[in-house]
Amino acid sequence: MKILLIGYGAMNQRVARLAEAAGHEIVAVIPNKNHDAIPYPTVNQINEATEADVAIDFSHPNLLLPLLEQDFELPLVIATTGEKETITAKLHTLSQKMPVFFSANMSYGVHVLTKLLEVAVPLLEQYDIELTEAHHNQKVDAPSGTLVKLYDVIEHLRDEVQPVYDRSQQNAKREKNEVGIHSLRGGTIVGEHDVLFAGVDETITLSHRAQSKDIFANGALNAAEKLVQQEPGYYTFDNL
C-alpha cells in the first residue's frame, strides 16, 4: 500500500517503521506539530497526497476534524480518541463515498475483550461493575477512549447505568446503577484496562494488558490492508 500518515507522533512513527518492514510505502505525512527531520514528504491537505491508497490517523481532534471537512475520497483508518461523537458522526457521512474504519483502540485483543464483556454483563446482572484504566504519564485525555468503549458496552446492556468518576466528592453509599470509572497515570505504562464484577463473596475481572504500542500500529495496518479492498461504508472490527 501507499500510505498517508495523519499525525507523526509516537504512534504513527511506529506505523511507518512497521509498514516499511512489511513492504508498504509512506508517501506523505500531515504533521500535527513541528517535527524535526520528518523523513517523508509533508502535505497540509488529504487530497494533496494523490498517490496514497489509504490514510492512517493517530493524531488529535484539533488536527483531524478540520481535515475531515475537506473534499477527498481516500479510505481512512482513524484511531484518534477524544471528541468521539463528533468524529464518528463525520465519518458516517464520509462513509457514503469511501470506506472508513474507526476504533478507539486498534488492538484486536481489546476488541475481543469487548466481545467477552457483551457475554459477561447479562450473565452477571446482580454484580457491581467498576472500570479501571492505567496509562503512561504523557497521556492527555482521561478516561481513555478504550475505557469509554467498554462503558458503552455496559450502558447498552444494562438499564439506567450511571458513570461515577469521583466518589471523593460524595458522602453516600454506592448505588446499584453506578459504574465506577477510574484513571491512573504514571511512568511508561502502555495501556491496562480492567472490568471488575463484584458480587456477594466473589469477584470476576476481565483484563487486557498492552505490552507494546506495536499492537496498535499493527492493528491499524491490518485494518488498512482489508479496508482498501472494501466498498464505501463505515467499518469497525465487528464488520471488517
**Residue 193 located in a structural domain:** yes
Distance of CA 78 to CAs 36, 101, 106, 122, 200, Å? 24, 6, 9, 30, 41
Question: 220 and 189: one domain?
Answer: no
CA distances from 127 to 130, 158, 163, 208 (A): 10, 11, 15, 20
Residue 75's domain comprises 2-106+214-235
In order of 72, 149, 204, the CA distances from 121 in angstroms are 41, 14, 11
Structure confidence at residue 135 (pLDDT): 96
Binding residue ranges for NAD(+): 79-81, 103-106
Number of domains comprising the chain = 2
* Amino acid 189: pLDDT: 95
Instruction: Compute mean pLDDT per 10 residues along the chain, 240 residues long, and list them.
Output: 95 96 97 81 94 96 94 95 89 97 92 96 97 94 90 95 91 93 96 97 97 94 97 95
99: alpha, beta or left, given left = phi > 0 and alpha = psi -120 to 50? beta
Do 139 and 65 lie in one domain? The reply is no
pLDDT at residue 166, as a whole number: 87
| Domain CATH for 123 | 3.30.360.10
**115 given a catalytic annotation:** no
Instruction: Examine the domain organization and report whether 102 and 219 are in the same domain.
Output: yes
pLDDT of residue 19: 97
Which residues are annotated as part of the binding site?
79-81, 103-106, 136, 145-146
pLDDT digits (tens, 9 = 90+) for 164-221: 998 888 899 999 999 999 999 999 999 999 999 999 999 999 999 999 999 999 999 9
Catalytic, 84? Answer no
147, 220: one domain: no
Quote the pLDDT of residue 35: 66
Domain assignment present for residue 35? The answer is yes
Query: Active site residue: 24, 60, 135, 208, which one?
Result: 135
Q: Is residue 58 part of a domain?
A: yes
**What nine digits make up the cell of 228?**
482498501
Q: Can you count the helices (H) and strands (E) in the chain?
A: 6, 11
Task: Report which of 227, 84, 63 is spatially closest to residue 150, judged by C-alpha positions.
Answer: 84
pLDDT value of residue 33: 74
Q: Is residue 145 part of a domain?
A: yes
Position 240 in a domain: no
pLDDT at 83: 86
What pLDDT was estimated at residue 82? 78
The answer as to whether 199 is a domain residue is: yes
- 50 and 145 share one domain: no
How high is the pLDDT of residue 221? 97
87 and 125 assigned to the same domain: no
Provide the CATH number for the domain around residue 60.
3.40.50.720
Among 2, 90, 111, 139, the one annotated catalytic: 139
| Pairwise CA distance, residues 32 & 22, whole Å | 25
Closest of 146, 19, 3 to residue 76, by C-alpha: 3
